[in-house]
C-alpha cells in the first residue's frame, strides 16, 4: 500500500514518530494524482506546488522542535464551492470560471491551523445541484470502483479523490445528500454535521437553510478527527451555533450495548434496490448482535420530503444565485446595455440544471403562488422535523440506506431530472430536519459499495459516530480500496497546476 492509501490517523502516527515526512506523503498523493487523474478526474484544480511547499514547511517546523498538529502534513481535497484564498473557486460553473477568491473560508482557516495541506479543489455538480457530478460545466468525474459509473454528487470529486488515494481526506457540502450519497457510491465515510455545527462562511450558498459542510474520510476515526478541526461557533456565520464542541474521538468506544437503534420503515419500501436492502438489513442485524436494541419505527411524513425539498431548495437558490449578475464578479457577457448584458451573462454562465432550479424557485416564490408552494413546503418541513423528534424520544439513532441504489452508469439518469432527484430520497429528510447523519460502507454489490446511513439527534454527532465506529470495528468494508486498472496507474503525465 502506498502512503496515500493510509488513514489520517495512521499517517499522523507515522509522521509524529518521525518514520515518514510530510513531503513524502505529499509526493505520494501527487504521484497518485498523476497516475489516476486522467481516468478519475476528481479535481478541477490541483495545487501541487502549494501542497509540497506546505508539507515542507510542516517538516521544517518539526525539525525545529514544534509538535505535529492534529492533521499536520495531511493532504486535503476541498470541494470547489468552498473558497481558499488565491485558488480558483468555480463551483464547476462557467459563471465563476475565472473567479479567484480574496479570502479563506472558515473551514479552510481551521484546517490550516490544524496543519492540513491543500492538494486541490474538487469537481462537483454545478453549484452543488445534482447527484452524479455530470452537471459539472467542465467534465464528469468517474467512480474509482468502476470508471463507467458516476461517483455520486454533488461532492463527487471529493469522494472520488479520497477513494482513489488522491487525498487523505476531503471536505464537501451537503444540502440534500451531497456528502453522504457520493461517500456511499465511493465506499468511504461521509458526514453531514448538524445544521449550524460547521461555519458556512466561505461556502458558496446554494440553499442556505439546508447547506452544511462536512468531511469525507477513509474511516470513522478520521471523520471524528476532521470534525474536531472544523466544528465550532463562528461569528462570521450568523447561523453558526454557539454549542460547545466535544472531542469527537472520545465517543469511539466500539460499544453499542443498550443503544436504541430505530429502523424507519418508510426507508425500506418501493424503489430501494433489493441488494441495497439486503446489505443494510445485514448491518442492522449486526447492531442487534452487538447488543443494541433494534426496533422498527415510522417517520410518517417521509413521502413529502422530496417535494418539499424541490420547492425550498430551488426557492433559496433562486435568491442566492441572483448575485451572479456579471457586474460584481465572475463571467460577464459582451453586450451593449445593462439588461441585455445581465440576461446574456446568466444565459451563458449557468448550465441547464441550474437554470431549471432558478425557474422552479422563482415560480414557487412568485406572488399568488407563494402560499400554495413555498409555504406549504415549509409546513411539510415542520411535520418532517416533528417525525424525527418523536422518533428520537424512543431511539438514540436511526439507520437507513444512504441511497436507494449503488453507483449508476454515466448518462443513465442524466436525461431525466426526476430519476436524478430520487437519488437523494433517503438523505433529503435529514437536511430538512437539520440533523447530523453519516454514511459508512456496509457492503458491496457486484463490486460496488453500499452505504449505511446513521442519523442522530441535533448536535449529537457523538452518538452517530459511536454507532458507526462500533459497526466498523466488526467489518472490513472500509479497508477495501478500489482496484484501479494497472494501465491507469502507469499512464500518468504531468498534471500539476490547473487541469481543467
Ligand atoms: N442532489 C440534491 C440536489 O440536486 C442534493 C444536492 C446537495 O446536497 N448539494 O439538490
pLDDT in tens, 93-119: 999 999 999 999 999 999 999 999 999
Per DSSP, the three-state class of 261 is strand
Q: Which atom of ligand 1 sits closest to the CA of residue 130? A: 4
Quick check: 175 and 158 in contact, CB under 8 A?
A: no
- 299 and 309 belong to one structural domain: no
Average pLDDT over residues 377-397: 98
End of a domain among 379, 401, 428? Answer: 379
- 189 and 335 belong to one structural domain: no
Q: Strand pairing partners for 143? A: 146
Domain extent for 223: 3-303+380-491
- 323 and 191 belong to one structural domain: no
Average pLDDT over residues 477-490: 71
Does the pLDDT of residue 481 top 90, yes or no? yes
Does the pLDDT of residue 491 top 60, yes or no? no
| Whole-number Cα distances in Å, 36 to 30, 33, 43, 144 | 10, 5, 11, 9
Domains held by the chain: number: 2
- 329 and 293 belong to one structural domain: no
The model's confidence at residue 444, banded by pLDDT at 50, 70 and 90, is: very high
- 70 and 213 belong to one structural domain: yes
Instruction: In whole angstroms, give the CA distance from residue 177 to residue 191.
Output: 10
Matching residue, cell 446511513: 453
- 208 and 347 belong to one structural domain: no
End of a domain among 327, 357, 379? Answer: 379
Q: Which residues are catalytic?
A: 79, 154, 178
End of a domain among 379, 408, 429? Answer: 379
- 56 and 162 belong to one structural domain: yes
Instruction: In whole angstroms, give the CA distance from residue 281 to residue 171.
Output: 29
Instruction: In whole angstroms, give the CA distance from residue 373 to residue 192.
Output: 27
The preferred substitution site among 213, 313, 316, 317 for testing ligand 1, maximizing ligand atoms within 8 Å of CB, is 313
Q: Which atom of ligand 1 sits closest to the CA of residue 173? A: 9
Phi then psi for residue 430, to 5 deg, are -65, -40
Which of 407, 436, 442, 57 is closest to 241 using CA atoms? 436
How close is the Cα of 105 to the center of ligand 1, in Å? 21
The kind and range of the H/E element at 118 are: strand 117-122
- 134 and 47 belong to one structural domain: yes
pLDDT in tens, 143-200: 999 999 999 999 999 999 999 999 999 999 999 999 999 999 999 999 999 999 999 9
- Binding pocket residue ranges, ligand 1, CB within 6 Å: 128-131, 154, 174-178, 206, 313, 424
The domain spanning residue 228 has which CATH number?
Answer: 3.90.1300.10
Instruction: In whole angstroms, give the CA distance from residue 205 to residue 102.
Output: 17
What is the reported pLDDT for 474? 98
The model's confidence at residue 335, banded by pLDDT at 50, 70 and 90, is: confident
Three-point CA angle 423, 429, 432, nearest 5°:
125
In a domain, 500, yes or no: no
What is the reported pLDDT for 493? 42
Does the pLDDT of residue 44 top 80, yes or no? yes
How close is the Cα of 181 to the center of ligand 1, in Å? 10
Which of 29, 329, 362, 313 is closest to 154 using CA atoms? 313
The preferred substitution site among 92, 153, 185, 432 for testing ligand 1, maximizing ligand atoms within 8 Å of CB, is 153
User: Which are the contacts of 52, defined by CB distance < 8 A and separation ≥ 6?
Assistant: 23, 26, 27, 30
In a domain, 499, yes or no: no
How close is the Cα of 159 to the center of ligand 1, in Å? 15
- 162 and 280 belong to one structural domain: yes
What is the reported pLDDT for 485? 42
Which of 210, 150, 141 is closest to 175 using CA atoms? 210
SS3 percent helix, strand, coil of the chain, rounded to 5, is: 45, 15, 40
Other Cβ atoms within 10 Å of 65 Cβ, number:
6
Amino acid at each position: 500500500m502506498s502512503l496515500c492509501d493510509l488513514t489520517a490517523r495512521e499517517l499522523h502516527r507515522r509522521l509524529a514518530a518521525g518514520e515518514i515526512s510530510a513531503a513524502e506523503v505529499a509526493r505520494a498523493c501527487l504521484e497518485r494524482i498523476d497516475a489516476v487523474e486522467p481516468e478519475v478526474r476528481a479535481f478541477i484544480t490541483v495545487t501541487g506546488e502549494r501542497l509540497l511547499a506546505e508539507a515542507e514547511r510542516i517538516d521544517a517546523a518539526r525539525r525545529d522542535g514544534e509538535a505535529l498538529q492534529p492533521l499536520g502534513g495531511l493532504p486535503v481535497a476541498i470541494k470547489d464551492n468552498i473558497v481558499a484564498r488565491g485558488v480558483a473557486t468555480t463551483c464547476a460553473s462557467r459563471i465563476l470560471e475565472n473567479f479567484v477568491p480574496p479570502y479563506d473560508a472558515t473551514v479552510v482557516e481551521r484546517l490550516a491551523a490544524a496543519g492540513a495541506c491543500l492538494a486541490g479543489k474538487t469537481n462537483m455538480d454545478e453549484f452543488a445541484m445534482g447527484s452524479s457530478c455530470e452537471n459539472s460545466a467542465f467534465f464528469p468525474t468517474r467512480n474509482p470502483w468502476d470508471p463507467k459509473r458516476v461517483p455520486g454528487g454533488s461532492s463527487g470529486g471529493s469522494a472520488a479523490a479520497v477513494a482513489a488515494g488522491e487525498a487523505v481526506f476531503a471536505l464537501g457540502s451537503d444540502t440534500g445528500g451531497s456528502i453522504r450519497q457520493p461517500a456511499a457510491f465511493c465506499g468511504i465515510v461521509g458526514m453531514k454535521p448538524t445544521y449550524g455545527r460547521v461555519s458556512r462562511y466561505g461556502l458558496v450558498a446554494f440553499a442556505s437553510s439546508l447547506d452544511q459542510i462536512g468531511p469525507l474520510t477513509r474511516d470513522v476515526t478520521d471523520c471524528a478527527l476532521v470534525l474536531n478541526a472544523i466544528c465550532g461557533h463562528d461569528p462570521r456565520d450568523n447561523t453558526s451555533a454557539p454549542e460547545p464542541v466535544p472531542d469527537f474521538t472520545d465517543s469511539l468506544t466500539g460499544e453499542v450495548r443498550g443503544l436504541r437503534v430505530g429502523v424507519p420503515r418508510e426507508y425500506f419500501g418501493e424503489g430501494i434496490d433489493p441488494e441495497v436492502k439486503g446489505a443494510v438489513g445485514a448491518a442492522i442485524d449486526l447492531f442487534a448482535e452487538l447488543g443494541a436494541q433494534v426496533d422498527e419505527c415510522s417517520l410518517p411524513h417521509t413521502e413529502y420530503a422530496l417535494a418539499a425539498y424541490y420547492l425550498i431548495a430551488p426557492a433559496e437558490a433562486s435568491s442566492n444565485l441572483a448575485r451572479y449578475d456579471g457586474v460584481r464578479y465572475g463571467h460577464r457577457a459582451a453586450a451593449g446595455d445593462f439588461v441585455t448584458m445581465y440576461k446574456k451573462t446568466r444565459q451563458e454562465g449557468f448550465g441547464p440544471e441550474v437554470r431549471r432550479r432558478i425557474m422552479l424557485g422563482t415560480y414557487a416564490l412568485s406572488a399568488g403562488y407563494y402560499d400554495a408552494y413555498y409555504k406549504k413546503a415549509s409546513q411539510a418541513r415542520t411535520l418532517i422535523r416533528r417525525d424525527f423528534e418523536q422518533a428520537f424520544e424512543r431511539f438514540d439513532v436511526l439507520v437507513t440506506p444512504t441511497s436507494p441504489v449503488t453507483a449508476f452508469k454515466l448518462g443513465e439518469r442524466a436525461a431525466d431530472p426526476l430519476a436524478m432527484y430520487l437519488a437523494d430520497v433517503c438523505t433529503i429528510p435529514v437536511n430538512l430536519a437539520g440533523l447530523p447523519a453519516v454514511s459508512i460502507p456496509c457492503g458491496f454489490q457486484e463490486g460496488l459499495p453500499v452505504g449505511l446511513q446513521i442519523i442522530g439527534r441535533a448536535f449529537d454527532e457523538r452518538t452517530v459516530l459511536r454507532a458507526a465506529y462500533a459497526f466498523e470495528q466488526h467489518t472490513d468494508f472500509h479497508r477495501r480500496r478500489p482496484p484501479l486498472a494497472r494501465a491507469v496507474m502507469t499512464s500518468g503525465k504531468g498534471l500539476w497546476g490547473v487541469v481543467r
